[in-house]
Structure 1
Amino acid sequence: MITVLILFSSSEIGGAERSLSRMALDPGASDIQYKFATLGSESGAWVTWLRDQGQDPIVLGPDSRCRKFAYYSFASRKFISAWRQIQPDVIYVVGLKAALLARLLKPLMPSTKIIHAIRTNLPEGSILARNFTISERLLSPCTDGYITNSKVAACRLTEIANVPPQKITVIYNGLDTGTASETASDKVQNEICVVANINQYKGHLQFLDVVSRVCAEIPNVHFTFVGRDDLGGRLQQEITARGLSTVITLAGYQDQPAPFLQRASIFVLPSLTTEGTPTSILEAFSFGLPVVAYKIGGIPELVANDQDGFLIEPGNAGKMADALIKMIKNPELAVTMGRSGQQKITTHFTLSASADKHNDYWHSLLQEAK
Structure 2
Amino acid sequence: MSNLRVCIVSPLFHPNLGGSARQAYTMADRLNKKGLSLMVITRRLDVGIPKLDNVEVHSVRSLMPCKHSLSDFTFLNFLISISFSLGAVMRLLVWRKRFEIVQFYGASLPLLLCLPLLKILRKKIVAKISGARKGMEVGSLRGFVFAPVLAVVFSFTDRFIVMSDELREGVLSEKFSESKVVKIPNGVDTGIFAPAQEERYYELRRKLGFEGGKVFLYSGRLAEGKGIEFLIKAMTEVDAVDNILLVLLGNGVVEDNLRMMAYELTLGNFLRFEGTVSNVADYLNAADIFVFPSLSEGMPNALLEAMACGLPVIASKIGGVVDVVEDGKSGILFEPGDVSGLASAMVRLLNDNELRLKLGAEARKRIVDSFSIDKIADEYINLYKEVLD
Letter in 1 for 2:112: L
Indicate the RMSD between aligned Cα atoms, in angstroms: 3.0
Deviation at 1:275, TM superposition (A): 0.7
Give, in whole Å, the separation in 2 of the partners of 1:155 and 1:26. Answer: 29
Give, in whole Å, the separation in 2 of the partners of 1:106 and 1:253. Answer: 36
Residue 97 (str. 1) matches residue 99 (str. 2): no
Deviation at 1:329, TM superposition (A): 0.9
Residue 194 (str. 1) matches residue 228 (str. 2): no
Letter in 2 for 1:248: L
Unaligned runs of 5+ in 2: 66-74, 206-212
| Partner residue in 2 for 1:5 | 7
Deviation at 1:50, TM superposition (A): 3.5
Tell whether the 8 Å contact from 2:312 to 2:363 is kept in structure 1 after alignment.
Answer: yes
Deviates more, 1:84-93 or 1:147-156: 84-93
Q: Cα distance 1:320–1:248, how it changes in 2: closer, same or farther (>3 A)?
A: same
| Partner residue in 2 for 1:154 | 168
Deviation at 1:152, TM superposition (A): 2.1
Q: Cα distance 1:336–1:75, how it changes in 2: closer, same or farther (>3 A)?
A: closer
Q: Cα distance 1:248–1:97, how it changes in 2: closer, same or farther (>3 A)?
A: farther
Deviation at 1:181, TM superposition (A): 2.7
- 1:138 corresponds to which of 149, 152, 159: 152
Give, in whole Å, the separation in 1 of the partners of 2:287 and 2:220. Answer: 15
Q: Cα distance 1:151–1:68, how it changes in 2: closer, same or farther (>3 A)?
A: closer
- 1:83 corresponds to which of 52, 72, 92: 92
- TM-score scaled by structure 1? 0.86
Identical columns (%): 22
- 2:131 corresponds to which of 109, 120, 123: 120
Deviates more, 1:16-25 or 1:318-327: 16-25
Deviation at 1:22, TM superposition (A): 0.6
Deviation at 1:60, TM superposition (A): 2.2
User: After the TM superposition, which residues 49-60 of structure 1 pair with which residues of structure 2 at under 5 Å, given as runs?
Assistant: 49-51=49-51, 56-60=56-60
Letter in 2 for 1:42: L
Letter in 2 for 1:112: K
| Partner residue in 2 for 1:300 | 322
Deviation at 1:104, TM superposition (A): 4.9
Partner of 2:366, secondary structure, is: helix
- 2:333 corresponds to which of 297, 305, 311: 311
Tell whether the 8 Å contact from 1:119 to 1:276 is kept in structure 2 after alignment.
Answer: yes
In the alignment of these two chains, the number of paired residues is: 358
Q: Cα distance 1:267–1:361, how it changes in 2: closer, same or farther (>3 A)?
A: same
Residue 207 (str. 1) matches residue 231 (str. 2): yes
Q: Cα distance 1:190–1:113, how it changes in 2: closer, same or farther (>3 A)?
A: same
Q: Cα distance 1:358–1:236, how it changes in 2: closer, same or farther (>3 A)?
A: same
Tell whether the 8 Å contact from 1:122 to 1:153 is kept in structure 2 after alignment.
Answer: no
Partner of 1:178, secondary structure, is: coil
| Partner residue in 2 for 1:283 | 305
Give, in whole Å, the separation in 2 of the partners of 1:190 and 1:84. Answer: 54
Q: Cα distance 1:249–1:360, how it changes in 2: closer, same or farther (>3 A)?
A: same
Deviation at 1:94, TM superposition (A): 1.8
Give, in whole Å, the separation in 2 of the partners of 1:166 and 1:140. Answer: 15
Residue 223 (str. 1) matches residue 238 (str. 2): no
Letter in 1 for 2:233: D
Letter in 2 for 1:143: T
Q: Cα distance 1:293–1:64, how it changes in 2: closer, same or farther (>3 A)?
A: closer
Give, in whole Å, the separation in 1 of the partners of 2:10 and 2:87. Answer: 14
- 2:352 corresponds to which of 319, 330, 343: 330
Provide Cα deviations, 1:236-263, integer angstroms capped at 9, x if missing partner.
2322232221111111011231111001
Give, in whole Å, the separation in 2 of the partners of 1:291 and 1:136. Answer: 38
Deviation at 1:106, TM superposition (A): 3.7
Runs of 4+ in 1 over 4 A off after TM superposition: 27-31, 52-56, 63-74, 121-124
Q: Cα distance 1:153–1:78, how it changes in 2: closer, same or farther (>3 A)?
A: same
Deviation at 1:199, TM superposition (A): 0.8
Tell whether the 8 Å contact from 1:195 to 1:280 is kept in structure 2 after alignment.
Answer: yes
Tell whether the 8 Å contact from 2:329 to 2:362 is kept in structure 1 after alignment.
Answer: yes
Deviation at 1:348, TM superposition (A): 1.2
